[in-house]
Amino acid sequence: MTVVIGIPASAEDETRSPITGDVVKKLAALGARVLVQRGATDAAFATPESLGDVDWAPTSAEVIAGSDIVWTIGNLSDADAAALKPGQVLMGLLTPYAGAAHATSLAERGVTAFAMELLPRISRAQSMDILSSQGAASGYECVLIAATRTPKFFPMLTYAAGTIRPARVLVIGAGVAGLQAVATAKRLGAMVHGYDVRPETREQVESLGAKFVDTGVSAAGEGGYARELTPEELAQQAKALAKAVADSDVLITTAAVPGKKAPVIVSRAMVEAMKPGSVVVDMAAEGGGNVEGTVAGKEMLVGVPG
């Protein structure tokens, strides 16, 4: 029996695709067929020609009805999720902690769901590690977003009239995304500082040519993630970070705790103390934000008159 893998369209603002032409070839070699909703891969520039030998369907309902396994980037729409049948498999970034009711509904209907973000980040699972690749891309993109919006030059520029000092960039969170942000800002010529509550990240930040901000707070957790801070540790962290934030032209925050709301690390007062024209990029916005007042999907320019 041939296994059919279905690719329905993702949310309107989603530009990633769970399938590429190379993957289609590998699946075909294993005897599987791929059923794709028309237009589902367009935003990722995975054209019909580049995908190769796949089957097409006009709607997500037809894809789900004709598939044994459904691949998606984020969660399906309510209507598509309701159309899943007992025995089907759903795979993707399913945010199980934030959508417990959704996960329970799938289980009750006999749907097997694999939330790919829960794969352990260990050597045996490296070939399936989805978070590292997405974190690296996100950290890189955060720096580009900041560089296009800050009035400061990232690199030092010297010309006949004098020298312009490079921008000061502070990256909070030294996971995959944060380290990629540090490396990218450094490559662009900025003066970069990095911070994380896990003490082992100091060496990683400094190996990329950045300076480590030491707050005296150490909160290493399990699985390479940080644990939640106590109120006393939060107060100590905020006091030590306040000056580093105020001195920065660009602040990039990437801190997250699996299964929890993103920790608020930067207060509104700390943001207001930044220089006019400073830029904040909060990568944790969808999880509640590391910066007080962050709203997912909206821009925030700090200190602009009016």
pLDDT of 306 over the 50 cut: no
Do both 144 and 82 map to the same domain?
Answer: no
Q: Is 204 considered catalytic here?
A: no
Its domain, for residue 35, covers 4-119
Q: What is residue 300's predicted lDDT score, i.e. its pLDDT?
A: 66
Q: Residue 132 catalytic?
A: yes
**pLDDT surpassing 80 at residue 47:** yes
Q: Any catalytic annotation for residue 225?
A: yes
Question: Are 13 and 135 members of one domain?
Answer: no
Residue 143 maps to which CATH number? Answer: 3.40.50.720
Distance CA 36, CA 47 (A): 11
Within this chain, do residues 37 and 68 fall inside the same structural domain, yes or no? yes
Q: Is the same domain home to 36 and 165?
A: no
CB 115 within 8 A of CB 97: no
Q: Is 151 a residue whose pLDDT tops 50?
A: yes
| The predicted structure's pLDDT at residue 222 | 58
* Contact of 241 with 269, CB cutoff 8 Å: no
Q: Check whether residue 102 and residue 158 sit in a common domain.
A: no
Please give the full DSSP string across 224-235, using - where no structure is assigned: TPBPPPPHHHHH
Catalytic residue among 22, 78, 126, 165: 126
Catalytic residue among 68, 97, 105, 132: 132
What is the per-residue burial (b if ≥16 Cβ within 10 Å, else e) of 199-230? Answer: eebbebbeebebebbebebebeeeeebbeebe
Domain stop point among 86, 119, 152: 119
Q: Are both 162 and 293 inside the same structural domain?
A: yes
Q: Which of 34-43, 50-59, 229-238, 297-306 has the lowest mean pLDDT?
A: 297-306
Q: Which candidate in 77, 97, 202, 225 is catalytic?
A: 225
* Active-site residue, selected from the candidate residues 109, 121, 187, 227: 121
pLDDT bracket for residue 150 (50, 70, 90):
very high
Residue 137 lies in a domain: yes
Catalytic residue status for 121: yes
Residue 66 has pLDDT above 80, yes or no: yes
With 0-12 CB in 10 A as exposed, 13-18 as middle and 19+ as buried, what is 27? middle
Of the candidates 33, 37, 80, 129, the residue annotated as catalytic is: 129
Confirm whether 189 is domain-assigned: yes
3-state secondary structure of 287: helix
Residue at which a domain ends, from 119, 151, 179:
119
Nearest to 282 by CA among 268, 270, 272, 297: 297
C-alpha closest to that of 6 among 82, 86, 92? 92
Rounded to whole angstroms, how far apart are CA atoms 56 and 300?
A: 41
**Domain shared by 142 and 197, yes or no:** yes
To the query of whether residue 124 is one of the catalytic residues in this protein, the response is: no
Asked if 95 and 42 sit in the same domain, the reply is yes
Q: What is the pTM of this model?
A: 0.85
Residue 125 covered by a domain: no
pLDDT digits (tens, 9 = 90+) for 196-247: 988 889 999 999 999 999 888 777 655 556 667 788 888 888 888 999 999 9
Q: Answer yes or no: is 124 within a domain.
A: no
Residue 40 has pLDDT above 80, yes or no: yes
Q: Mean pLDDT for the chain?
A: 90
pLDDT tier, 130 (very low <50, low <70, confident <90, very high otherwise): confident
Q: Count how many domains the chain has.
A: 2
